[in-house]
Each structure stands twice: as C-alpha cells, then as structure tokens.
Amino acid sequence: MKKILLNRDFILFSIILIILIAVGFANPLFVTPKSISDVLTDTSILIILALSQMIVILIRAIDLSVASNLALSGMLISLLSTVHPELPVYYFIALSCVIGTILGVLNGISIAILKVPFIVTTLGTLSIYRGLIYFVSDGKQVYSNEFSEDFLALIHVKFLSLSFLFWLAVLVFIVIYILLNHTRFGRNLYSLGGNPDAAKYIGINENKYIIMAYSLSGFFAGLCGYLWVARYSVASTQIAIGFELTVISACVVGGISVMGGVGTVLGCVLGALLIGLIRNALPAVDISQFWQLAISGAIILLAIIINTKTEQRKEKTIMVEN
C-alpha cells in the first residue's frame, strides 16, 4: 500500500484530481462532461507528441525539432490539398506521416552517422524545417476556406461523444505502451538509455536505435502535422512555434528522466494531461491567459526539482545502521 502511495504515477494522478476538484469548486462549469471532453481534445496532440518525445528521451537524447517538423509536414499537405482537394483525407494523413518520418530520419542520420550532438542537430533542424515552411509557402497562410471539406471533417468525427483526436491519442498510448513494454525494441531502448556502455556488450546497435527513435519521433510529428492543421483549420509559418518546449515539459513532469532509461508511458500521459489541464483551467478560474506561460514554467521547475530530490534520496546506499 505504501508503495502505491509513493508511486510517481499515482501522485501525479492525485494532483490532477485535486486540481480538477479545486477548479470545480471555483467554477462548476469547468467540470461538466462537455468541458472535460474539450480539455481532453485540446490535450490530445500534446499527449501524442509527449509519448513520441519520450522514446527519444529514453535514450538520453532530446528532439527539439518536433514543432518545426509538425509545422512543415502540415504546411506541405495543406498546400497539396489546395491543389488537389479531391484526394481522400487518408492520403494526406499518410503523406504527412511519411514527410515527418523523413525529417526524423535526417535528424537520426546527423546524430548517429555524422556524430553531431543531438542538441546541435535538433537545434539546427528546428531552424531549417521552420525556415523551409516559408520557402514552400512563400510566407503565405492556408486558410480554412482553402481546405477541402473532407480534409477538415475527420477531425470533427465523434465517438461516444468524445472526439476523434481523443481516441487517436488513446490509440497512440496503447501502441506506444505495447511498443515500450512488450517488444524487444522497446526494452532495448530502456537498456540503451540506462547503460549505453553495457548495451554494447549485449550487442545493441546504438546507431540503429538512435535513427529508429528519431524516425518514430518524426513519424508522430508528421501525424500531428495533419491533426494540428485540421483542428485549427489553418496552416502558416507560425503554427506550433515553441511547442517543443511544452512537449518536453510534459515528459519531464511525467517523470521521464533526461538522464535516460527511466520513465513510464502512463507517467508521460499524466504529465501531458496535467499541463493540458492547467492551461485550460486558468481561464476557468479567472486567471488571465497571460499568466499561463509563467505558471507552466514554474510547474516544470517544481516537477524537476521534486524528481531530482526523490531520485537522489533513493540512490544513497545504506551501510551502517544508525
């Protein structure tokens, strides 16, 4: 029982509940099913990206280029849809994923083959991918009336009165849960992040895993490229600017250790939910939206400090009974 109470994921879950209850008292409208389902829909893209970022963080790396990747993939399919509105929406989704994957593979190659440190690589591609959007679009926006109906319709499909986005996030959660906990690939990611030197002894090819992790991160960024554009019915050079930091924050809050090899899929989702909840709850309790950024910054800091403190306490080996 004590173990459960001290479990990170449980604590995180409790915090989410407490916030929900507290906000509910201040503003009962916030805890209606409709409002909660809105929060879930609103957080879905964050959940998907946090889960794919987690794969990269597990092997002691970070992908700062996800938001730019998302925006570029989104812009490319939007431009295509203005020219070929007749194509089915699945075609666009698949294409967006392919573009995202290619951009992810490029990151992986730079890191694994060219040996450019991951910070430098993804900092570089963050600019490059963002810059390419201007080039392909001439700096113009694609507005809602330029998309085909089909393109935008899928996102509004509802099932059990919950949105398509939400169910997609659930699906991604299940897939990544199985991938990380029940496949050799996933377990090897944990080993590689936990002890890279030892991983070599058991024959894990580090370069292959780096490229794979970044391609997965790219794949989901591409997927979210479609989701983002369709949800907000706009593609521009500015979409999702700075969102990579929100994604990383979700992982950190969710207990994914940036030192590699530690973290649960559930924790990651809870981290994303907590951040999404706070973003949505602030207006509900009459806190100006301008406070949002500062509050999420403070929460990230608090989360890391608590994480580090508990980790450091655990590490102390006991030799003498005092």
Shortest gap between Cβ of 280 and another protein (angstroms)?
Answer: 16
CB-nearer residue toward another protein: 155 or 212: 212
258 binds another protein (CB under 8 A): yes
Contacting another protein (CB under 8 A), which of 1, 145, 312, 313? 312
Contacting another protein (CB under 8 A), which of 39, 126, 142, 211? 126
Cα four-point dihedral sign 12, 16, 19, 22: negative
Contacting another protein (CB under 8 A), which of 29, 135, 140, 153? 135
Number of Cβ atoms within 10 Å of the Cβ of 116:
16
Shortest gap between Cβ of 246 and another protein (angstroms)?
Answer: 8
- Using alpha carbons, select from 203, 232, 273, 277 the residue that is nearest to residue 50: 273
By CB neighbour count within 10 A (0-12 exposed, 13-18 middle, 19+ buried), where does 113 fall? exposed
Binding residues among 262-291 for another protein as defined by CB under 8 A: 262, 288, 290-291
123 binds another protein (CB under 8 A): yes
238 binds another protein (CB under 8 A): no
88 binds another protein (CB under 8 A): no
- Using alpha carbons, select from 220, 175, 203 the residue that is nearest to residue 56: 220
Q: How many angstroms separate the CA atoms of 68 and 169, rounded? A: 20
Binding residues among 92-121 for another protein as defined by CB under 8 A: 110, 113-117, 119-121
8 binds another protein (CB under 8 A): no
208 binds another protein (CB under 8 A): no
Count CA atoms within 13 Å of residue 60 on its CB side: 13
Q: Classify residue 261 by its DSSP letter.
A: S
5 binds another protein (CB under 8 A): no
